[in-house]
Amino acid sequence: MFAKRSIRKEFLFQLIFASISLILIFSSILYFYIENSIYEEKNNELIQYAKNVLDNKAITQLNDETLNQNFLSLNLEMLKLKTRHKDINIYEKTEKKKTYLTIIYPYNLDNMTYLKVTKDITPTKKLLDKILHYIFIINLAGFLLVIVYAIALSKMLVAPVKTLNAKLSNMNEHLIKPIDIEKLPLEFEPLGLTINHLISRIQNFVKYQKELFIGTAHELKTPLAVIKLKNQVTLIKKRTPDEYIEALNVTNKTIDEMNVIVSNILNIGRQEGAQLDKPVEVDVIEILKNKADDFNLLAANQNKKLVMDFKPSVFMASIQVGLLNQIIQNFLQNALKFTPEGKSVKLKSSQDDVGLLVEVIDEGCGIDNTVDLFAPFKRQGNKSGVGLGLFLAKSAADALGANINIRNREDDIDGTIASLQLNSKLSCILPLKN
């Protein structure tokens, strides 16, 4: 019925144990309360009998029938003790299956005489035994009800998990659908949201992987076709050595283009390995400064300016540095590639309610918002490239639990803003250093 290390089994046992313990404690308290109340009443009754005798009053003020019953179970004696006792002594004694309650009450302390009042409380004792018996039967029935209730409740609590499991087990890469959060109990909504987020990432991964395979085949097919065509044309007739050298140079150039594609595809494999690296505690601002220093010389060599604006001065986080470097490097490479000479690229950071926002702002040609730039082999503009850089950046951001975005500038200047939003929760942001 239960698997190894079953949460339902642990919950069921804990619920049964807690409920049975509660029933036992409550029943014990109830029985002892009833017993103490009855005995207190009997004790007070015997004390009243003794007081009435001392005051020369009738033993009871009850009706005749009750009086006769009391007399039948009541025994009065006078005792003379060797030592003086001012306290009232009450004790219980059982003889021949009968239970007697006795009180020793001071009568005349001068001659050390005491009044002994004994009452047969066997009916009361039997009544208490019946009460205990009934409580035991009720507890037994309660135990059975608790077990049935615990099984039903545990089954009800794991029902949403089984529903989620059934939906997920029927999914494959072609039938991945988000879970309807509205049909889940309130307590399972966070789990449903997390699963939907994971499903969304899986959908994007499958989508981009398919596009990557198709794009790779297409990108490699084109240069191979060019190489084959050039070779066929070259072989049609005899040519001069210079013409053969020119044909070989064209072939080598095409092969170099294929090598670039293969290198970028290998980078995807390396990045998947980097996603398994253990996060380390680093100062993200320091990493941005180092990356800016690396690209500052490159920008100057291209007659472009790299502007830096880092806030706060320190921002500590536990993060995979290789993935962060890959994203920032891709943003800066694209910004410098599309920014004309004499223009500037700005690398800035700022802290917001989410975490740390890193932005690379260029003065290039802008982007077409209708194109998914994060898909593999998607290119814009007239610059050379394979079209895998942003695909790698997107994959790295997903692995970091971060969000990246590229949009056009809205300040009447042509260009784009590439942003990376590090989530303080997902990125394990640590307190700022003083």
End-to-end CA distance of the chain: 56
Residues 256 and 308 in one domain: no
CA gap 44, 40 in Å, rounded: 6
Residue entry with tokens 């500037």: 344
Residues 58 and 130 in one domain: yes
Structure tokens at 134: 């009934």
CATH number of the domain within which 235 lies: 1.10.287
The count of domains in the chain is 3
Residues 234 and 348 in one domain: no
Residues 370 and 403 in one domain: yes
CATH number of the domain within which 375 lies: 3.30.565.10
Q: What is the pLDDT of residues 106-127, one digit of tens each?
A: 887 777 888 888 888 888 889 9
Smallest CA-to-CA distance from 27 within 123, 122, 127, 140 is with: 140
Indicate the range of 5-19, 47-61, 136-150 predicted with least confidence: 47-61
Contact 287, 324 (CB under 8 A): yes
Percent of the chain with pLDDT over 70: 79
The winner for highest mean pLDDT among 151-160, 171-180, 319-328 is 319-328
What is the reported pLDDT for 430?
44
CA gap 119, 69 in Å, rounded: 11
The residues, any chain, with a CB within 8 Å of residue 66's CB and separated by 6 or more, are 60
Q: Which of 145, 163, 194 is the last residue of a domain?
A: 145
Provide the edge-to-edge strand list for the sheet that holds 344-351: 305-310, 344-351, 355-361, 416-423, 403-408
Residue 158 lies in a domain: no
Residues 356 and 320 in one domain: yes
Cis peptide before 312 (omega within 30 of 0): yes
Dihedral of the alpha carbons of 255, 257, 262, 266, in degrees to the nearest 10: 140
Smallest CA-to-CA distance from 169 within 195, 191, 189, 206 is with: 195
CA gap 349, 368 in Å, rounded: 25
Structure tokens at 36: 């103490």
What is the reported pLDDT for 268?
62
CA gap 85, 113 in Å, rounded: 10
Residues 89 and 220 in one domain: no
Three-state DSSP state, 239: coil
Smallest CA-to-CA distance from 158 within 12, 11, 8 is with: 8
Report, in angstroms and rounded to the nearest whole number, the Rg of the chain calculated over CA atoms.
45
Q: Which of 145, 175, 194 is the last residue of a domain?
A: 145
Residues 16 and 122 in one domain: yes
Distances in Å between the Cα of 92 and the Cα atoms of 101, 107, 117, 119 are: 5, 21, 12, 10
Residue 428 lies in a domain: no
CA gap 412, 384 in Å, rounded: 27
Tell me: pLDDT of 348 over 90: yes
Residues 267 and 307 in one domain: no
Residue 212 lies in a domain: yes
Residues 244 and 262 in one domain: yes
Percent of the chain with pLDDT over 90: 11
Residues 53 and 135 in one domain: yes
Report DSSP state, residue 47. H
What is the reported pLDDT for 358?
93
Smallest CA-to-CA distance from 114 within 78, 75, 76 is with: 78
Residue 195 lies in a domain: no
Query: What range defines the domain where residue 253 resides?
Result: 207-274
What is the reported pLDDT for 160?
76
Residues 358 and 250 in one domain: no
Tell me: pLDDT of 235 over 90: no
Contact 357, 419 (CB under 8 A): yes
The winner for highest mean pLDDT among 20-29, 152-161, 192-201, 376-385 is 20-29
Burial of 423 (0-12, 13-18, 19+ CB in 10 A): middle
Residue 175 lies in a domain: no
Q: Which of 226, 245, 274 is the last residue of a domain?
A: 274
Residue 171 lies in a domain: no
Residue entry with tokens 């001012």: 86
Residue 183 lies in a domain: no
Residue 168 lies in a domain: no
Average pLDDT over residues 127-138: 90
Contact 394, 369 (CB under 8 A): no
Tell me: pLDDT of 341 over 50: yes
Residues 285 and 264 in one domain: no
3-state helix, strand, coil in the chain (%, to 5): 55, 20, 25
Average pLDDT over residues 160-176: 70
The residues, any chain, with a CB within 8 Å of residue 237's CB and separated by 6 or more, are none
Contact 227, 254 (CB under 8 A): yes
Neighbours of 186 (CB within 10 A): 6
Three-state DSSP state, 221: helix
Burial of 329 (0-12, 13-18, 19+ CB in 10 A): middle
What is the reported pLDDT for 417?
92
CA gap 325, 189 in Å, rounded: 35
